Amino acid sequence: MELLEEHRCFEGRQQRWRHDSAVLNCTMTFSIFLPPAHLTTPPPVLYWLSGLTCTDENFTTKAGAQRVAAELGIVLVMPDTSPRGEDVADADGYDLGKGAGFYLNATEQPWSAHYRMYDYLRDELPALIQSQFTVSGRCAISGHSMGGHGALIMALKNPGRFTSVSAFAPIVNPAQVPWGQKAFSAYLGNDTSTWQAWDSCALMLASQSQDAIPTLIDQGDADQFLADQLQPARLAEAARQTGWPLTLRVQPGYDHSYYFMASFIEDHLRFHAQYLLK
Ligand SMILES: N[C@@H](CCC(=O)N[C@@H](CS)C(=O)NCC(=O)O)C(=O)O
């Protein structure tokens, strides 16, 4: 691992690292915020998954999460949103290819050579974080838009792994909306039965009640993608049917931008802290 940047921030450290990923078959960067070491026990980790077009730096520089993470003693880990590098397949649009990995394992050419963000996030990155930093085994996960989808499927597919999950403006039903349909047909192929394993509405409807974890979603009602791409009410309906403990908050006047996330990230950190620091 190579340290690319380090900054003091709220008495903690904001770092950016480069490492070779065996799973993704390319070099990756991630950012991490390490709170001040004021606690006797190793701090828990909140993974943050970003949306379309983002790198590990959008959340780091725009959300303003570090002050409260420092206060609570939570490590923030921000991975990139896709494999990277000249050898990695890409597409013209902002919603497919680099910056748009959708946190799944691609099965179709040319994507399957590198696009395995699910395995990277499930196995390789947590193992790296555990081995290179002083952290506890407790973790939670959150994200925005495509990253909200990623956080929800990570939690739904890995019962017992996360204490809690939250999302801002998540793509909850990718199999049924244009962003998801474009990405899933490219990465997974046209057999839509394979898509269900990557769709949080389908996963929640198939979940076992003992696997449910506290879930918080914030959605701005002035979000330009709400009607066509997001529709969090569909996940709220799945939660109602299964008894999943989901709180969906609709925030009046907020859009899809990081100004929305900056406004509510403190709530999400304190929400996760209730379970992470138990
Ligand atoms: N209008 C954007 C659509 C993509 C978008 O809104 N991306 C969101 C995530 S879905 C984002 O976080 N963008 C980067 C940022 O705001 O820093 C574009 O065409 O690039």
Q: How high is the pLDDT of residue 40?
A: 67
Query: Rounded to the nearest 10 degrees, how much is the dihedral formed by the CA atoms of 26, 146, 57, 41?
Result: -90
DSSP assignment string, 222-271: T-TTIIIII-THHHHHHHHHHT--EEEEEETT--SSHHHHHHHHHHHHHH
Q: How high is the pLDDT of residue 278?
A: 84
CA of 146 from ligand 1 middle (Å) equals: 10
| Residue 127 in this model has a pLDDT that exceeds 70 | yes
Q: How high is the pLDDT of residue 80?
A: 98
Among 48, 254, 256, which residue has the most ligand 1 atoms within 8 Å of its CB, making it the best to mutate? 256
Q: Which atom of ligand 1 is nearest to the CA of 256?
A: 6
Q: How high is the pLDDT of residue 39?
A: 64
Q: Tokens at residue 63, please?
A: 């959300």
Burial 91-103 (b: 16+ CB within 10 A, else e): eeeebbbbbbbbb
CA geometry: angle 63, 105, 242, nearest 5 deg: 75
Q: Looking at ligand 1, which residue's alpha carbon is closest to its atom 14?
A: 54
Q: How confident is the model at residue 213 (pLDDT cuts 50, 70, 90)?
A: very high
Catalytic entry in 114, 144, 149, 256: 256
DSSP assignment string, 127-147: HHHHHHS---S-EEEEEETHH
Q: How confident is the model at residue 118 (pLDDT cuts 50, 70, 90)?
A: very high
Q: Average pLDDT for residues 196-214, to the nearest whole number?
A: 97
Residue 223 appears among annotated catalytic residues: yes
Q: Are strands 215-220 and 165-168 parallel, antiparallel or unpaired?
A: parallel
Q: Which residue in 240, 220, 98 sits closest to 167, CA to CA?
A: 220
- What ipTM was estimated for this complex? 0.90
Residue 236 corresponds to which amino acid? A
**How far apart, in whole angstroms, are the C-alpha atoms of residue 35 and residue 38?**
8
- Which residues, 6 or more positions from 83, have their beta carbon under 8 angstroms from its beta carbon? 21, 24, 25, 26, 28, 98, 101, 114, 115, 116, 117
Q: What distances in angstroms separate CA 46 from CA 27, 77, 132, 215, 217, one per listed residue?
A: 23, 6, 16, 14, 16
Q: How confident is the model at residue 41 (pLDDT cuts 50, 70, 90)?
A: confident
pTM: 0.97
